[in-house]
Amino acid sequence: MKHSTSTVKHTVIERRSIDYVPDNERFGSAMGQFTLWLGVNLNITAIVTGALAVVLGGDVFWSLIGLFIGQILGSIIMGLQAIQGPSTGLPQMIRSRMQFGVYGAVIPLLLVSFLYIGFSAGGTLLAGQAVAKILNAAEWQGIVLFGVITILVATLGYRAIHSLARIASVVGIIAFIYMFVALLAGHNISSLLEQRKFIPNQFILSISLAAAWQIAYGPYVGDYSRYLPTDTSKLKVFFAAASGTTLGSQAAMTFGVFSAAIAGVAFTGHEVEFVVNLGASGLVASLLYFVVGFGKITMMTLNAYSSYMSSATLVNGFRGKATVSVGHRFIYVSAMILLAVSIALWGSGSFIHAFSSFLLFLLTFISPWSAICLADWQWGHRSKCDLQALNDPQGIYGRWNWSVISIYFIGLLMELPFVSSSIYTGPIASLLDGADISWLVGLIGTGIVYYIYSRILPPASMKIQAAD
């Protein structure tokens, strides 16, 4: 494997946007994907997600097992999408034009835009709490300041985000080791593990929470692997991304499970403060607050960076343009972060329950898209892509691919009986005592339907040669 094919001098500010990355600008190795996704997941939002498994009624032992199963299942989907980046050199969501059409891709793009905003709002709220503690300021001031920092880093682009992630990985690992040691030293963890009560629907909930966390990376994981050389081993990229995200998120969520079990009702509404105060005070606590805020910058910049590419892809699909200037990148990123900050300021009082509903809601809508994306890669496009047609409504991909759009909605309909939420509970979910397996049905069912479709009406890419 070649670790770099780049012949272009790279600047701090990224030149590329939603356009194709040519071979002479490729660089890096698969290991960079491991450090990126390890560092991204060592953050307070992942801790809170793990805590949800206990806050919503699960015990410690079975919550940990359920979360780990969910990590594995979800990271397989995430890792398979990561390998598409080096092969195509394209952002993840612009490839949806191959399946849905140049205009039809607006459907998954709108969905993903909601995903970015929701995750960013939650992350901004939690990181803002940490920043406020460091500066001894009001929570809203911490939220706003964190939003400004995110805008600046995300505007710099790919290299800045990867560099930040490498630092975050080291800092995050050190901080988590310290907090785990403090947690183990100050509390009787073994007694928590001994209290085992298997509740099927709660166990499935913990699986779904972790799977949702991992599958939610699918719409943008390829954005951060597209600069790798074309000949980078697909197997190495898969294992680097999947193992990095699994290890990072499981470590964070495990800490969250223990934290929620120890805190009880005191955890909700004081997530950041409680996590930090579990093992520190004074100067050490201040340092941990800094780590919490710093760790969230990586996650937030990922969201903001990919948000601008999704937004730009959505808008430029109707404008017929393939590039976005740095100035427009700044505008897209700023608009997304301002919206996320506004939501964070508005919803700070009821975060944890709203976030759980948000995660599971998103999973319902993302699963059919993930199935189509992976099935199309396996049985259709692979690395074959007509780059010109991606921006041409008159090209081979067309304006709207109603067949694939219909398959997406068929996938949603298949999920409905299995959905369990505060808004709607399907009949089969009721029979399963509220257990929600809609995401699994959506993945498998939509994949099968797309396979049948691809055999009857071969995708357009089967009729073209690979484009340079």
Q: Find out whether 275 and 43 touch, Cβ atoms under 8 Å.
A: no
Best CA proximity match to 32, nearest among 240, 340, 226, 188:
240
Best CA proximity match to 227, nearest among 165, 170, 157:
157
**Spatial distance between the Cα atoms of 372 and 382, rounded to a whole number of angstroms:** 13
Q: Among 3.40.50.300, 1.10.3720.10, 3.30.565.10, 1.10.4160.10, name the CATH number for the domain at 23-463.
A: 1.10.4160.10
Q: Find out whether 110 and 314 touch, Cβ atoms under 8 Å.
A: yes
Model-level pTM?
0.79
Structure tokens, 386: 């007509």
**Spatial distance between the Cα atoms of 286 and 334, rounded to a whole number of angstroms:** 28
Best CA proximity match to 247, nearest among 80, 58, 40:
40
Structure tokens, 12: 């701090």
CB neighbour list of residue 258: distance below 8 Å, 6 or more residues apart = 60, 183, 187, 189, 192
CB neighbour list of residue 309: distance below 8 Å, 6 or more residues apart = 17, 18, 91, 93, 94, 220, 223, 324
Q: Give the per-residue pLDDT at 266.
A: 63
Q: Phi-psi bin for 396: left (phi > 0), alpha (psi -120 to 50), beta?
A: alpha
Q: Find out whether 302 and 282 touch, Cβ atoms under 8 Å.
A: no
C-alpha distances (whole Å) from 196 to each of 65, 124, 189, 262, 409 are: 12, 35, 13, 15, 40
Please, what sign has the CA dihedral across residues 386, 321, 162, 12?
A: positive
Q: Find out whether 367 and 444 touch, Cβ atoms under 8 Å.
A: no
Phi (first) and psi of residue 435, to 5 degrees: -70, 130
CB neighbour list of residue 131: distance below 8 Å, 6 or more residues apart = 137, 142, 143, 145, 146, 289, 293
Please, what sign has the CA dihedral across residues 432, 433, 436, 438?
A: positive
Q: Give the per-residue pLDDT at 444.
A: 93
Q: Give the per-residue pLDDT at 210.
A: 92
pLDDT tens digits, the chain, 468 residues: what are they?
444 455 555 555 555 556 677 777 777 788 888 988 887 787 777 888 888 888 888 888 999 999 999 999 999 999 999 998 888 888 777 888 888 888 888 888 888 777 777 777 777 777 777 777 777 777 778 878 878 887 777 777 666 766 776 776 677 777 778 877 877 777 777 887 877 888 888 898 899 889 988 988 888 788 888 888 888 898 999 999 999 999 989 988 998 898 888 877 666 666 677 676 665 656 666 677 777 666 667 667 766 666 666 666 656 555 555 555 666 667 777 777 788 778 777 765 555 556 666 666 777 888 899 999 888 887 765 556 777 777 777 878 888 888 899 999 999 999 999 988 777 788 998 888 877 888 899 999 999 999 888 887 765 544 543 343
Count the Cβ atoms, other than its own, within 10 Å of residue 85.
Answer: 25
Count the Cβ atoms, other than its own, within 10 Å of residue 385.
Answer: 24
Q: Find out whether 410 and 379 touch, Cβ atoms under 8 Å.
A: no
Q: Give the per-residue pLDDT at 249.
A: 92
